[in-house]
Structure 1
Amino acid sequence: MRFGARIFKTGLAVIIALYAAHLLGLEPAFFAGLTAGLTIQPSIYRTYQRILHQVQANLIGAALAVIFGLAFGQEPFVIGVVVMISIAIILKLGLDSSTIPVTIVTIVIIMGNSPDDGYAMFALARFSLIMLGVFSAFLVNLFFLPPKYENKLYDEIFATTENAARWIRLITRQDTNVQARREDLEESREKLVELDQLYLFYKEERNYFRKTKFAKARKVVLFREMLTATRELVHVLGSLDERENDFYHLPEHMKRLVQQQMDHLTNYHGRILARYSGKVTTQMTDFMSEEADEGNESLTESFMNSYDYKELSREEWLNLLPLIAYIIEYNSQLDHLDRLVESYFTYHQEDDN
């Protein structure tokens, strides 16, 4: 059993909402707790955005509940009609559809058990309970364990890159368990989807100080390119896995070239990531880039000659062409990422460590 930050914050938001409701004399307090649990979001910005949409959506639901309740009563049929009209208006206005469940709760608790006298004040009290839960969730997300997506994103990218590089080294040396490799490859592909979502959370985080605003904008670009480079590496791994037999039937000098080139590229990739985290200097970066480019030329030339000199059949050559193309694209992406990292530290020396 694992209790992550979001689980802890959800529980804390519910606790705060319940205590706040009791202190303010708003009953039943569990409505505030329910809303707080439904409103917690994975990022501060999303919680803030959710509040804006939630306030609008609940105002719509509460207003319609009061109007229809006074005009037509609180029959189940009337409640259902109010729910349908509210949902239609929310969608028409382009509000977040995730606000709909809380809006339905607002409508039901206003119309489901309301007194005959003081109906408007009763509706206001119930609406206040809902808003109390929404704001409790926002405060918890803002002040308690705010998410640090930059660190998490970097660590996940680094781990995924290292794992893919390890499998490539094993494949090129014909020393790998096929079943374990393919299970890990599938996990790596799933991890890329998770990384895309994590990157979106990081991109959504807002900086309100001019000093850090431009640095954040550059980091967003950097992480996008880091993700692209890792994705290219996983493509190379997938291509090697798919064409394993064809690779093993390559002439020895070509297998050695692929092995050496992938060793150069994965080492180069690891050094770029280490450079971003401040673990290494730039002294070896240019040399590694030149070494990778030379290896790329040698591999491309050897592959083209293998067809001209009939070392490979036409079918084998065409089948291995995507693998060589992935390796070339991976090399190109690493050169681009390297330049971006160096450019970043040129303008933001204070972040060097």
Structure 2
Amino acid sequence: MKLGARMMKTGLAVGIALYIGQLIGFISPLLAAIAVVFSIQPSIYRSYQSIIEQIQGNSIGAIIAIIAVFTLGNDPFIVGFAIILVIGLTTSLKMNENTIALAVVAVIALMDTTDQTFLYFAGSRFSSMLLGILAAFIVNLVFLPPRYETRLFSKIDHATNDILQWLRVTTRQLSDEPALKYEITRLQDDMRWVDHTYLLYSEERTYFKGSRFSKGRKQVLFRQLITTTKKSFDVLKAFYRLEHKIEQIPEDFQDAVVQELDKLINAHEKLILSLKGRIKNTHKQSLRQIEEPDIPLLVERLMHVYEESNNPDKLVFLPLASQLMEYHYQLERLKKLLKSYQTHHQDDFIQTSEK
């Protein structure tokens, strides 16, 4: 079993909330632990948003619960009516599901039957829930803050390596079809995780003007990295769909496709290596000049193949040509953005691995 940072944060925050709740003498410190579970977030920015929203949601629940008890009592049907009001109000304010759920828990906890003074009872339970929310925020802020820059690059790097390896195998008609089908499904999930991690990375806030400018350039570069990887994945899917039809085109053209795609793959890999800092600055320019792919010429040759043949089935290769052109275009754009970033931010490296 792999223990993630969020799991450890949740356990630590629950322990802190229970300990402080018992130390202060709250009636129900268990409510603090419940609030923690609903309040832990994957990033500091979302944790900040969550603490504001959770306090608002719990305040709404507490106010409605107190009014309901003093005016209507705490009959079970009154509790249900109060919950309906809280859900309706928090939903209309577009609060998230965790906030709504915790507000409902607040209503149930505050409207419970007790022999104690109601205001003291309600205040103690409401304070317990606020303690849990604050404990979750502090733990998320201090303990193992997420490094989404490193995580994002790692996910892009792994997905790109897998895609490029499968492209090399598939273009040479060496791939196992069931295995490739499974890998395409897995890679689609990987790309969804890349998009999700990029969203979390883009939400991270910087507090210095110079850092904000650098972060903005990094975001643009990462977005282009993701776009380029997705285009390479589109090429892989196009080859997978045409695997049994490749033999319809002349062998010399098949060889040309493999050669040009290899050049694209090599160029893509060199850009990733450059980002990792594994290529010396003095050699970057010479590496870019080695075997530059000429995809427009390849597409032009494909058009000649169509003109020389009356077989309409060969038109199925037009989408492949389009995907190759788009992949080449996005790769060239990535090259320009990377060069620009490395020129203007020589001392601000992208964190590609944990220190």
TM-score (norm 2): 0.94
Tell me the SS of whatever aligns to 1:21: helix
Q: 1:343 aligns with which of 328, 340, 345?
A: 340
TM-superposed CA distance for 1:120, in Å, is 1.9
Give the Å deviation of 1:163: 0.6
Aligned to 2:49: 49
2:311 pairs, out of 286, 310, 313, with 313
The separation in 1 between residues aligned to 2:40 and 2:108, in whole angstroms, is: 21
C-alpha distance 114-214 of structure 1, shift in aligned 2 (>3 A):
farther
**For the structure 1 residues 288 and 236, does the alpha-carbon distance in structure 2 shift closer, same or farther, using more than 3 Å as the test?**
farther
Q: Using a 3 Å threshold, how does the CA distance of structure 1 residues 351 and 171 change in structure 2: closer, same or farther?
A: same
Q: Secondary structure at the match of 2:327?
A: helix
The 3 A distance-change label for structure 1 pair 167 and 200 is same
Give the letter for the 1:2 counterpart: K
- State whether residues 235 and 323 of structure 2, in contact with CA within 8 Å, keep that contact through their aligned partners in structure 1: yes
Residue equivalent to 2:4: 4
Name 2:353's counterpart in structure 1.
Answer: none
Shift in Å, 1:288: 5.9
Post-superposition Cα deviations, 1:241-270, rounded to whole Å, max 9, x if no partner, equal 000112233211111111111111111111
How far apart, in 2, do the equivalents of 1:256 and 1:288 lie? 23
- Native 8 Å contact 2:263 2:292 kept in 1: no
Instruction: State whether residues 257 and 295 of structure 1, in contact with CA within 8 Å, keep that contact through their aligned partners in structure 2.
Output: no
Distance 1:285 1:332, change over 3 A: farther
Q: Counterpart in 1 of 2:279?
A: 280
**Structure 1 contact 268–285 (Cα < 8 Å) conserved:** no
Give the whole-Å Cα distance in 1 for the aligned partners of 2:321 and 2:288: 18
Aligned to 1:85: 85
The equivalent residue for 2:323 is: 326
Q: Distance in 1 between matches of 2:282 and 2:153?
A: 22
For residue 181 of structure 1, give the secondary structure of its aligned residue in structure 2.
Answer: helix
Q: Flag structure 2 segments of 5+ consecutive residues without an equivalent.
A: 351-355
Q: Could you say which residue in structure 2 is the equivalent of 1:219?
A: 218
1:93-112 aligned within 5 A: 93-112=93-112
SS in 1 for 2:244: helix
Contact 1:264 1:288 in 2 (8 A): no
Cα shift at 1:314: 2.1
The share of aligned pairs that are identical, in percent, is: 35
Deviation sequence 1:255-298 (CA, Å, 0-9, x none): 11111111111111111122222222455655666667652132
In structure 1, distance between residues paired with 2:316 and 2:206: 48
Q: Secondary structure at the match of 1:176?
A: coil
Cα separation, 1, equivalents of 2:317 and 2:287: 26
Tell me, in whole angstroms, the C-alpha distance in 2 between the residues paired with 1:225 and 1:274. Answer: 16
Match of 2:232 in 1: 233
| Change in 2 beyond 3 A, CA 1:55/1:235 | same
1:256 aligns with 2:258: no
Deviation at 1:210, TM superposition (A): 1.9
> Aligned equivalents of 1:101 and 1:223: distance in 2?
35
> CA shift at 1:164, angstroms?
0.7
Cα drift, residue 121 of structure 1: 2.4
Contact 1:293 1:331 in 2 (8 A): no
Matches of 1:294 and 1:330, distance apart in 2? 11
1:4 Cα deviation after fit: 1.2
Q: Is 1:292–1:331's contact at 8 Å kept on the other side of the alignment?
A: no
